[in-house]
Structure 1
Amino acid sequence: MDTPPGRSRTVIRNCNLFNGIDDRKVVGADVVFSGTTISAVSTSPVAQQAGDTVIDAGGRFLMPGMSDAHVHLMGNANSYMDFIMGPTGGLYINTLAEAKSMLHRGFTTVRDMGGDLAAVKTAIDRGQFEGPRIFPSQAMISQTSGHADFAFVYQTPQAFGGGPSRTEEIGFTRVADGAAKVLTAVREQLRKGATQIKLTVGGGAASMYDPLNTLQYTTDEIRAAVEAAADYGTYVATHVYTVEGIRRAIDAGVRSIEHGHLADEDTVALIAEKDIWLSMQPFAEHDHSYPDPGRAAKNVQICNGTDAVYGWARKHGVKTAWGTDLLLEPASAPKQSEMAARLGEFYTNVDALKMLTSGNAELFGMAGPRNPYAAHQLGTIAEGAWADMLLFDGDPIADLSIIGRPDEQLKVIVKNGVVVKNDL
């Protein structure tokens, strides 16, 4: 446990440790980190060295940094009017501000499922701004009239000589019709630094043109995206809710179903059989606000499916990830913490905490050679893992609502070996 000359180390002493993997916490542990990684985890007191920084946890609860498998950092930070009327620079300033807020809620890693985040990710990784580690998908890829087609109804599609929508101009979305253009769109996102690809293959609540029951993209189009992503060693994740859409995505080789709230039990069992990820969100009606009756009705239908699909996922042993998918309502961004705690309505507290840490990290690892953080483990507190940790005042294994109140309960945040917050 000796530290190389010239490198200081930090000791978190006397914590109740949940390592993100085991069911039980370890009482009275010491954790040592030096540089960006954890150098030791000990069940007995670590001998102090000259130059050590010591954080006395006083028996508080230490866990890995939390993660969110379905965020839209740019979409979370900006309203619809910001997107269509605001200056481009303002979109990125708001995104960086939200990235800092997200880290201070305890989310040290996120998978971004739509937005031009590669440059934001790089700036955060360099330490120029505070924020979580980001697995960017870059632009959401959609067919014309699909979930990520944000063009106005009177605009001529590009295939007929029209220009790109505002969200395409800024890299938030990409509309591509036909297998050849889907290939180009996927390769474009990979060129821009995408770690995985996001395809929208069904209707959604936030979108204006597509009823939930619509099937979007043919099997050949989806398969083209899957093949292009596989050539880069990564995978395709698809926005989709319905049985027919999920089954089409599975047939085409998709590896992660995003949402799936309108699935039936046979389809959930198929997801388990095919060893595919289900990236779910514990939606409640009040998470989103839709002023028009059509989108509000779609939101209700989606939320009503949440309980059943979680139950079938548990029953069939589906690999389930957790995310939020908050979008276009910046004032709702803090609900991320509330939604994390809400996971306890569907899983035991320990299983919820695992999903928020090592579980999501396993999904992120499917990016393979595109994984920018593969040098060390994410989502766990272990020797050699990334030094991403949270110290809570209270025990989330006993009361998961604690993680829903980060301003009150979250006392220390460590990300990449840097103590971002210390309120002890």
Structure 2
Amino acid sequence: MASTEFDHESLIKPWKASLPKSYIFTNANLIDPVDGIIRKRVTVKISRGIIEDVNDSASPTQISNISADSITIDLEGKYICPGLFDCHVHIIAVPGEEEWRNTKHLDLQTSAYRQAYVCESMLSRGFTTVRDCGGASLALKKSIEDGLIQGPRLFIAGDFLSQSGGHGDTRGPHDKSDIICCRGGSSNFPSKICDGVPECLRAARENIRTGSDFLKIMGGGGVCSPTDRIDNIQFTAEEVQAITTVARHNKTYATSHAYTPESIQQAINNGVMGIEHGNLIDKETAGLMASKSAYLTPTLVTYSAMAQEKHAGYMPRESMAKNSEVFVAGLHGLKIASEAGVNICFGTDLLGHLTASQSEEFSIRSQVLSPLAILQSATVTPARMMGQEGFLGQIKPGFAADMLILNSNPLEDIEVLANPGKHMLAVLKEGRVCKSRWRRLDEDVRKQPEYIE
């Protein structure tokens, strides 16, 4: 029956790849991101996209139910690490434009074609899962799930929610026009402008209806928005409560863009469970977040990348002035949050051609966090935030076969993950080899050629 169902699905979706191959990896050094230990000489069996067995033996003879078509690979002491999770991306902010203002007003068809490149590039860096905090569509998510586009597993916010004049409103101070279709001053910008409790309820419910896995609100001022200050508090307590009530009723959560203690506290005190950025956080606010088991996703690399000379001119001058305001504070805020015991996730928030700097976030965090803490922020902690702690973030039986094969140990030097082109031999997502830089392991994400001669 299973074979018939698969054949039928292949008929109606001819781009579907064949079932994932079965692999047995022997002589592996397995990285445990929970305890920070290395299990040596381990054998890992994966089948149909799932990790079936993990055995502390170098011999595959200790593994049960080995199929005749299983492929055995001797890793010779190379490292197996769980696939990485970037918790703050914007896939819609594609490369190809000289300036941010052109990127944010790019027509959706052009953007859609470029998004395939962004997704495949993220996967090649080892990010097997990403959380898109505004812009990625349900259509993109389903296209990746179906194998039409190669990319990370997606959790999407859909449109982010902003007040008028907030971080999601792209209109400049001299723009007197009404909001176009409630989308922040541009029909292509992924924002819903909502003022007052009824509009906030409706916008949040519309997001859930159209496939959002979580809700993203703009709770304070930001770098890229033209009319607000970093220290603005956005939305009222009642508006935030309306949005978080919708999230809670739909068994999910809301996360908030917020930099300052005041905007973070308003969000957390009104039911928000995640904070994006948080650069200016203080000890009191970090303690509040820890007491509520809330999640913080710093995105330090985006400020670093914006400040680099090679990217000069991409952001307008007013944005660069605000970037300087939060750039220096970012590492200090991360240290405060870590010492307070806040749940910390890995995020990047890169826009346009700056997305190529994604892996540099590992290097930046190493100035204040241990390699284990950084690895946890990109594996087990975001898995828990998304309610996927029993399926993502570890190499264990029953988990998704999302794995990296590395030639060095990232628990000794996190730069291993910051330099995928040098250290990341292969990336597997759901049991398929999506990227290989190792001659002994071929990529298998696409259908094999059918030769006639």
TM-score normalised by L of structure 2: 0.85
Question: What's the secondary structure of 1:123's corresponding residue?
Answer: helix
CA contact (8 A) 1:83 1:166 kept: no
CA contact (8 A) 1:392 1:412 kept: yes
Matches for 1:65-144 after TM superposition, within 5 Å: 65-77=83-95, 79=97, 80-83=100-103, 86-144=106-164
Q: Deviations over 1:330-386 (max 9, x none)?
A: 2x1121111123322221112211211111111122xxxxxxxx5951011000000
1:389–1:219 CA distance, 2 compared to 1 (3 A): same
Q: Deviations over 1:312-339 (max 9, x none)?
A: 2222211111101112x32x11211111
User: 1:259 Cα deviation (Å)?
Assistant: 1.1
1:201–1:418 CA distance, 2 compared to 1 (3 A): same
Q: Specify which of 216, 235, 240 is matched with residue 258 of structure 2.
A: 240
1:183–1:247 CA distance, 2 compared to 1 (3 A): same
Which runs of 5 or more residues in structure 1 are unaligned? 1-5, 366-373
User: 1:420 Cα deviation (Å)?
Assistant: 1.1
**1:201 equivalenced with 2:219 (yes/no):** yes
**1:354 equivalenced with 2:376 (yes/no):** yes
1:291–1:113 CA distance, 2 compared to 1 (3 A): closer
Which runs of 5 or more residues in structure 2 are unaligned? 1-18, 308-313, 439-453
1:76–1:83 CA distance, 2 compared to 1 (3 A): closer
Residue in 1 that maps onto 2:11? none
Q: Specify which of 24, 27, 31 is matched with residue 37 of structure 2.
A: 24
Residue in 2 that maps onto 1:369? none
Matches for 1:12-411 after TM superposition, within 5 Å: 12-44=25-57, 45-47=59-61, 49-77=67-95, 79=97, 80-83=100-103, 86-156=106-176, 158=178, 164=182, 169-170=187-188, 172-283=190-301, 285-289=303-307, 291-327=315-351, 329-330=352-353, 332-365=354-387, 377-411=391-425
CA contact (8 A) 1:278 1:320 kept: yes
Question: What's the secondary structure of 2:113's corresponding residue?
Answer: helix
Q: Distance in 1 between matches of 2:437 and 2:320?
A: 41
Q: Distance in 1 between matches of 2:20 and 2:191?
A: 44
CA contact (8 A) 1:82 1:91 kept: no
Question: What's the secondary structure of 1:342's corresponding residue?
Answer: helix
Q: Distance in 1 between matches of 2:163 and 2:49?
A: 42
User: 1:291 Cα deviation (Å)?
Assistant: 4.7
Q: Distance in 2 between matches of 1:218 and 1:356?
A: 32
1:75–1:129 CA distance, 2 compared to 1 (3 A): same
Task: Report the residue type matching 1:335 in the other structure.
Answer: S
Q: Distance in 2 between matches of 1:134 and 1:352?
A: 21
CA contact (8 A) 1:151 1:165 kept: no
Q: Distance in 2 between matches of 1:375 and 1:147?
A: 32
1:262–1:46 CA distance, 2 compared to 1 (3 A): same
Task: Report the residue type matching 1:263 in the other structure.
Answer: I
Q: Distance in 1 between matches of 2:331 and 2:105?
A: 38
Question: What's the secondary structure of 1:146's corresponding residue?
Answer: coil
Report the more deviating stretch, 79-88 or 37-46: 79-88
CA contact (8 A) 2:183 2:190 kept: no
Q: Deviations over 1:197-223 (max 9, x none)?
A: 000010111111111111110101111
Q: Deviations over 1:38-63 (max 9, x none)?
A: 00011102226522112221211110
Report the more deviating stretch, 335-344 or 64-73: 335-344
TM-score normalised by L of structure 1: 0.90
Q: Distance in 1 between matches of 2:161 and 2:303?
A: 26
Q: Distance in 1 between matches of 2:199 and 2:168?
A: 15
RMSD, matched Cα? 2.1
Q: Distance in 1 between matches of 2:170 and 2:288?
A: 32
Q: Distance in 2 between matches of 1:24 and 1:339?
A: 23
User: 1:151 Cα deviation (Å)?
Assistant: 2.9
